[in-house]
Amino acid sequence: MSDREGEPVRLASVRREDAAEYLKLSRQRDGRVRLRTLVAVLGMFVGLGVALAIYVLAPGWLQALSMGVLLLALGSAGTQADAPVITRAVEMTKAPKLTSDIVLRALGALGITAINQVQSKGRDGFTFTAPITRDGPGWRAEGDLPYGVTVTDVIERRDKLASGLRRPLGCVWPEAVPDEHTGRLVLWVGDQDMSTATKPAWPLIKGGSVDLFKPVSFGTDQRGRWVEITLMYIAGVIGAIPRMGKTFLLRLLLLIAALDNRAELHTYDLKGTGDLDPVGERVSHRHRAGDDDEDIEYALADLRELRTELRRRAKMIRSLPRDICPESKVTSELANKPKLGLHPIVIGVDECQVWFEHPKHGGEFEEICTDLVKRGPATGIVLLLATQRPDAKALPTGISANASARWCLKVMGQLENDMVLGTSSYKRGIRATMFSWKDKGIHYFVGEGSDARIVSSVYVDAPTAEVIGLRARRLREAAGTLTGHAAGEVFEDRESSGFDLLADILAVVPAEEPKLWSEVVVARLAELRPDVYGGWEPEQLAAALKPHGVSTGQVWGKTEAGKGANRRGIERSHILTMIAERDGNRDAS
């Protein structure tokens, strides 16, 4: 009743010799004391009277009920903001319990002005919207930050938050709440560092096979729950700085694909260290490690064939009856029919920037991969690209913008973060920059129809990967689906072995036709060499000519009906010039 909480403020005004403020505070103190005294006296007389009446006149059950109500009221008044009146039994842990006082202390240590201003006025600076509860192997707190403070402000100070909570950095995971305002914070504090916590055994580590059309576990979230991925109908990008587990994650996804004996794998280790060999040498239809000229030519020839296969599949799907293919895409049932040739194709490329930045073939690599990313998923073709330098050159916009699955391990800046996770991810608080150097294999995963999640991928070392690769090979041998590189077959580029595209064009474009539409050229090429050029479209001709320095453009021509029109085509003189430069003979014409 004596207003002791206001005494420090009054003493401060005395020290400042501020008489006006002291008189104002004294009047405030007098008013508080009078009100509290009046309430206390009335409460004492009324309370004692009611208690005496109940004791003398009321039956026993009413006395018990009155006592219970009084105890509940006192308990509710004295309960902390984050705690329910009645708690349930929980398993005791070695980590300290997370309480509202600890959370408020940690938020106050972040140096966020709006929070500090609210707390300086005696308020909490954080409104708990639910009690702090156990959530898996950790504690979960949820609430609203002060007006104007966003979850992003807290995430970018995660190290200070961990210091305020007195917990290791790998235990502290602030997150935004999807479909809520940007000030709604969920704080999950684990009992153990996520990078060192014991994880459940991966179901596929010792046995089992996979159906790529169904979800498969590939990692766990902070709470130790399995996170799944359906590899079909996606195109994926993986980004990270070096030594954070990017290649291991790509190899894990390829091992999953290898355990579906229908899948045809094309694996490219452009780093050249052999990290993908447990998959490539055991089961891959096409495989290469390195970035020498012959490796680049091998990969380019393979991609050209894959683009042709993409077009064949599109025509096959279009020709199927609606009752067999109702959604115009490959299904598990269609993949089971070898005659249709619609089995899954999974392409995995590590250090993909080597392709896209190649001085001669970079443009064609980008064009084909963009086509595979956009149209491949519906036809059963999956492209997975991994890079340690996620920028516009390493991940061209046409690819990064259309990838439906994204894995981002630690990166250093906003640009790299958004290149992998999508535009404005950084502003929304999805920041792979917050991962520490020891968070190897921990990443943000966007895909599988849900918002961004933090996932720790299953760790499969090289010896274990070899064992899984051998098991996948045995599955294929039993099913009769081991082909290509893994079966010892030598890949021969049908487009380049013994054939010269420029010379073939000269053979079908006589001197009397100095300019010719591309559609006419590909039709004549198909007649010349059906096994090489059969199924080519004008776009494929343009892509094949680009490495030779020949571009297609608008040329004048006439239809079969004799009507003139401008369409994309080639000029014979350009072909002659390129042959002359290539052969070092300007008199080739």
Least confident of 31-35, 110-114, 212-216, 552-556: 31-35
At 558 the pLDDT is: 84
Q: What CATH number is given to the structural domain containing 160?
A: 3.30.980
Q: From CA 67, how far away is CA 213, in angstroms rounded?
A: 62
| Structure tokens, 587 | 């008199």
Residues 171 and 311 reside in one and the same domain: no
**What is the helix (H) or strand (E) element at residue 120, kind and residue range?**
helix 113-120
Read off the pLDDT of each residue in 481-500 and give the average, rounded to a whole number. 77
- In the predicted structure, residue 494 carries a pLDDT above the cut 70: no
Does some domain include residue 494?
no
Residues 512 and 442 reside in one and the same domain: no
| Structure tokens, 432 | 């792979």
Best CA proximity match to 103, nearest among 136, 75, 131: 131
Q: Are 462 and 278 in contact (CB under 8 A)?
A: yes
Q: From CA 11, how far away is CA 28, in angstroms rounded?
A: 14
Does some domain include residue 324?
yes
At 63 the pLDDT is: 74
Least confident of 19-33, 451-465, 519-533: 19-33
- In the predicted structure, residue 120 carries a pLDDT above the cut 70: yes
Residue 560 has, within 13 A of its CA and on its CB side, a CA count of: 2
User: How many structural domains comprise the chain?
Assistant: 4
Q: Are 330 and 394 in contact (CB under 8 A)?
A: no
Does some domain include residue 202?
no
Does some domain include residue 199?
no
User: What's 206-273 look like in SS3?
Assistant: CCCCCCCCCCEEEEECCCCCEEEECCCCCCEEEECCCCCCHHHHHHHHHHHHHCCCCCEEEEEECCCC
Q: From CA 215, how far away is CA 448, in angstroms rounded?
A: 9
- Render pLDDT for 236-295 as a digit per residue (tens, 0 to 9): 999 999 999 999 999 999 999 999 999 999 999 999 999 999 999 999 999 999 999 999
At 212 the pLDDT is: 97
Scored b (16 or more CB within 10 A) or e, 70-98 reads eeeeeeeeeeebbeeeeeeeeeeeebeeb
Q: From CA 589, how far away is CA 584, in angstroms rounded?
A: 12
Kind of pairing, strands 564-571 and 450-457?
A: unpaired
Q: From CA 279, how far away is CA 482, in angstroms rounded?
A: 12
| Structure tokens, 252 | 């894990």
Quote the Cα angle for 418-422-425, to 5°: 65
Quote the Cα angle for 503-508-510, to 5°: 95
Does some domain include residue 433?
yes
At 86 the pLDDT is: 60
- In the predicted structure, residue 355 carries a pLDDT above the cut 90: yes
At 83 the pLDDT is: 58
User: Cα dihedral sign for 308, 296, 393, 427?
Assistant: positive
End-of-domain residue from the set 190, 205, 236: 190
**What is the helix (H) or strand (E) element at residue 565, kind and residue range?**
strand 564-571
At 81 the pLDDT is: 58
Residues 482 and 505 reside in one and the same domain: no
Give the residue numbers spanning the domain of 376: 218-487
Residues 421 and 381 reside in one and the same domain: yes
- Render pLDDT for 534-582 as a digit per residue (tens, 0 to 9): 888 888 888 888 777 888 889 888 887 888 888 999 999 999 888 888 7
Determine the residue type at 76. S
Q: What CATH number is given to the structural domain containing 276?
A: 3.40.50.300
Kindly tell me the burial class for residue 16, based on how many C-beta atoms sit within 10 Å of its own C-beta (0-12, 13-18, 19 or more).
exposed
Best CA proximity match to 264, nearest among 245, 241, 247, 287: 287
Read off the pLDDT of each residue in 423-445 and give the average, rounded to a whole number. 91
Residues 528 and 388 reside in one and the same domain: no
At 559 the pLDDT is: 84
Q: What are phi and psi of 416, to 5 degrees?
A: -65, -40
- Render pLDDT for 154-201 as a digit per residue (tens, 0 to 9): 998 999 999 999 999 999 999 988 888 999 999 999 999 998 888 899
- In the predicted structure, residue 587 carries a pLDDT above the cut 50: no
At 82 the pLDDT is: 57
Q: Please name the residue that has the structure tokens 């274990």.
A: 464
Least confident of 81-95, 322-336, 496-510: 81-95
Q: Please name the residue that has the structure tokens 């505070």.
A: 25
Q: Are 115 and 154 in contact (CB under 8 A)?
A: no
Query: Please, which residues have CB within 8 angstroms of residue 562's CB and are 6 or more apart in sequence?
Result: none
Q: From CA 103, how far away is CA 127, in angstroms rounded?
A: 11
At 125 the pLDDT is: 92
End-of-domain residue from the set 432, 461, 487: 487
Residues 309 and 348 reside in one and the same domain: yes
Q: Provide, for the chain, the percentages of residues in helix, strand and coil under a 3-state DSSP scheme, each rounded to the nearest 5.
A: 45, 15, 40
Average pLDDT, the chain: 88
Residues 421 and 372 reside in one and the same domain: yes
Q: Please name the residue that has the structure tokens 């007389």.
A: 45
- Render pLDDT for 55-103 as a digit per residue (tens, 0 to 9): 777 787 877 887 888 778 777 766 665 555 565 555 555 678 999 999 9
At 79 the pLDDT is: 65
Residues 538 and 433 reside in one and the same domain: no
Q: Please name the residue that has the structure tokens 């598990």.
A: 332
- Render pLDDT for 392-426 as a digit per residue (tens, 0 to 9): 888 999 999 999 999 999 999 999 999 999 988 88
Does some domain include residue 203?
no
Task: End-to-end CA distance of the chain: give it in Å, rounded.
Answer: 109
Kindly tell me the burial class for residue 441, based on how many C-beta atoms sit within 10 Å of its own C-beta (0-12, 13-18, 19 or more).
buried
User: Cα dihedral sign for 460, 461, 462, 463?
Assistant: negative
At 68 the pLDDT is: 81
Does some domain include residue 92?
no
Q: Please name the residue that has the structure tokens 């007649």.
A: 527
Q: Are 432 and 417 in contact (CB under 8 A)?
A: yes
Q: From CA 119, how far away is CA 108, in angstroms rounded?
A: 7
End-of-domain residue from the set 437, 458, 487: 487
Residues 48 and 107 reside in one and the same domain: no
DSSP state of 44: H
Determine the residue type at 445. F
Residues 64 and 114 reside in one and the same domain: no
Read off the pLDDT of each residue in 360-378 and give the average, rounded to a whole number. 94
Residues 291 and 399 reside in one and the same domain: yes
Percent of the chain with pLDDT over 70: 93
- In the predicted structure, residue 13 carries a pLDDT above the cut 50: yes
Read off the pLDDT of each residue in 377-396 and give the average, rounded to a whole number. 93
Choice between 439 and 10, residue whose per-residue pLDDT is larger: 439
Residues 54 and 23 reside in one and the same domain: yes
| Structure tokens, 535 | 């199924």
Sorting pLDDT into bands at 50, 70 and 90, what band is 481? Answer: very high
Does some domain include residue 270?
yes
